[in-house]
Amino acid sequence: MTTSSAATAAEMWEFLEKKGGLQPTDYDQRLVRQVADSLGLRANRALGTELRTTNIGIEAFVKAFFEAVQPLVVMWSDLLAFFEAAAARSTDNNLRVRYSFDTADHVSASFDLEAFRESLRVAEKLSARFWFSTGSGQSFWNISEVFRLPGVGFVHQPTAPAVVVEFNNACKQGAWPTRLPPEPKAQNATLERLLGETWALAGVFLDGLRRVSGNHDMLMTMRGNESVFAGLTIDLLRQVESDFWLPTLVATASQRIAEADAIEQSQMASRLDQILAVYRNQDANRHVVRDRLLDFLRLPIWTHRYELYSNWVCTRVVSSLQDRVPILHSAAGQILFLFSGTHVATFDGFTPRLHLWTELRSPLADPVGKGRRRSIQPDITLVEDPITALRVPLAVECKQYRKADNRKFAEAVTDYARGHPSGTVILVNYSPVREEAVYQRVDSDLRGRIRTIGDLNPAHLEQLDAFRTAVRHALGIEDPQPAESAADGAAQSEGREDFAAVGTIELRWGAVPTDLDLHLVVPSMSGRDEVSWQSKGEGKDPPYCQLDRDVTTGYGPERIRIFRWLPGTYEVIVRGYSEDAPLRESAARILVATASQTREFECPTDLDGQVWNVCTIDGATGDILELPAP
């Protein structure tokens, strides 16, 4: 790249600051940092300064910018689906959505559904790294052909590594996985880069699958030819995945790369580069790189990108409770989101019914949070019938702090937990949250009813799953057992709901260590069986208990359900598997429930080592007894 090219990138950055509404010292700091990281620039210097002194071209800069804004584009897509559902119920296909962002309830932003739909279409087309079309359906299998094993063909049932086996089984027999297994590593540098691109494309495809359906069987029953994301339609997803393209690609590529020599890897790189070109969103016929960025910054939804965050979290609440018959409300052809409160939805699948409100104000004497006076006003509140009784089982507060403010977060959850004494409070932040640091500032009698979830945005699928679990847990809803293996899938098809658990053990912890493991030693004829990630157990046969999943990304939960007690003593143990932090710093909590008792245990902060012996359970009586740390 030439010096003039670098100057052009710097000029585009200056335009972003002056005309594009970018706020590098406020909410947009995380976006700025992501752009800098993508370009390999130093974290301790201003981005504009770095761009003026390095050979960064405008093409690289705009590419990094569009990668950084992808979570926003996904949020807008979720909001569009939310508004379209409301429009379908109101029979107004061009529903108007209006916002008030101030205490006077003045309309600050307004758009109709068709305008929002068109803005999103433009945003997706401009920013997407890949773009898919109906005509490119066959090319998906051309990607897989690159990795076909000589004399063997495609790998449909992998035997190793374990993460690929689990991914394969989940795609075929269970809920869609939240992420791809790690990409295989090639010796050829070009192939290594193209494998990264292939895995990125497969990740977009997986995101499309998760957006439209819960699992493969559900997808096969669906129809639709409108784009759901980056040109992917339901029909295209169903067509490509009908023969399990995604798990086949992952399994075949993983094995082929491990076996290929240098010449074969070079040949694969050449073929793969040509095939991926079909999907690269270069858009050469309509936009030069600079114009793509300018067109994106002119979109109204970019202007109000941060005011829409709490609305997007609303869509995640509704999505979490989709099985509870949500009814989205509109009146006179519009949804009006007022600072003084809006009744957004009703869930008929609860008894009593639940109502979702935004900005619902309720009284509270002596709030501790600065700026609150005699009342609280969470971003999202679920209220039971009758609304006037203000019985609130769940309140959600949405933050967009670039740097977690533990004091303010603790004050918010304290006020909301005090104001709604029978409910759970979930505080979410677009960026990370130090959960334990918040808990330490909250009174101990409130901690059992609060949850903080950081990185809640579309770029962190595991956090979206954690939020869904937290919402449902707060409302007393237990999900069906996830099918993470063929055996799990068989158990589900046989009807796990026919028998109920007689005891549960649940492990939750903070962001680090990323991997804690829940173990249960079970009495048996042989003297000792152990249920853990290595042997998840069985519900209908000995040991009559089962681990639901192995969480390796922090927070949990991991849960063991006991379906039949055996005479003898059960031992509950937590082991630290990852080495990114000591077990004593995990903020781990164990909740044990039997028919006779429910007890909660916190990991000792003076624990020595990576093993926490939590408690024992008497299989005959259900009594729970705490054990000392080793």
Handedness of CA 142, 144, 146, 151 (dihedral sign): negative
pLDDT band at residue 575 using 50, 70 and 90 as cut-offs: very high
Q: Quick: pLDDT tens for 443-469.
A: 988 888 999 999 998 888 788 888 998
pLDDT at residue 499 tops 60: no
Measure the N-to-C terminal CA separation of the chain; round to a whole number of Å.
Answer: 60
Is there a cis peptide before residue 543, judged by omega within 30 degrees of 0?
A: yes
Chain-centre distance for alpha carbon 149? 34
pLDDT for 525 equals: 65
Burial class of 546 by CB neighbour count within 10 A (0 to 12, 13 to 18, 19+): buried
Check if CATH label 1.20.140 holds for domain 499-626.
no
pLDDT for 24 equals: 60
pLDDT at residue 185 tops 60: yes
308-312 long-range contacts (CB < 8 A, ≥24 apart) are 308/75, 308/76, 308/79, 309/75, 309/398, 309/400, 309/430, 310/358, 310/379, 310/380, 310/398, 311/79, 311/82, 311/337, 311/358, 312/75, 312/78, 312/79
pLDDT band at residue 76 using 50, 70 and 90 as cut-offs: confident
pLDDT band at residue 480 using 50, 70 and 90 as cut-offs: very low
pLDDT band at residue 393 using 50, 70 and 90 as cut-offs: very high
More confident residue, 597 or 478: 597
pLDDT for 257 equals: 94
Both tokens of residue 591? 């909740």
pLDDT at residue 209 tops 50: yes
Q: What is the overall mean pLDDT for the chain?
A: 82
Q: Which of 195-199, 328-332, 579-583, 597-601 has the lowest mean pLDDT?
A: 328-332
CATH number of 313-474: 3.40.1350
pLDDT mean over 332-349: 83
So where are the chain's domains?
Answer: 3-68, 73-292, 313-474, 499-626
pLDDT at residue 111 tops 80: no
Pairwise CA distance, residues 302 & 31, whole Å: 13
pLDDT at residue 493 tops 90: no
Pairwise CA distance, residues 547 & 534, whole Å: 10
Q: Quick: pLDDT tens for 312-326.
A: 999 999 988 888 878
Question: Strand 380-384 and strand 354-358: pairing?
Answer: antiparallel
pLDDT for 43 equals: 64
Q: Quick: pLDDT tens for 2-37.
A: 333 444 678 778 777 776 667 665 567 778 888 888
pLDDT at residue 225 tops 60: yes
Pairwise CA distance, residues 258 & 241, whole Å: 25
Coil, helix or strand for 235? helix
pLDDT at residue 365 tops 80: yes
More confident residue, 296 or 558: 558
CB atoms within 10 A of CB 598: 11
Is there a cis peptide before residue 557, judged by omega within 30 degrees of 0?
A: yes
The top-scoring range by mean pLDDT among 244-253, 401-410, 563-572 is 244-253
Phi, psi values for residue 453, rounded to 5°: -135, 115
Based on DSSP, count helices (H) and strands (E) in the chain, helices before strands: 20, 25
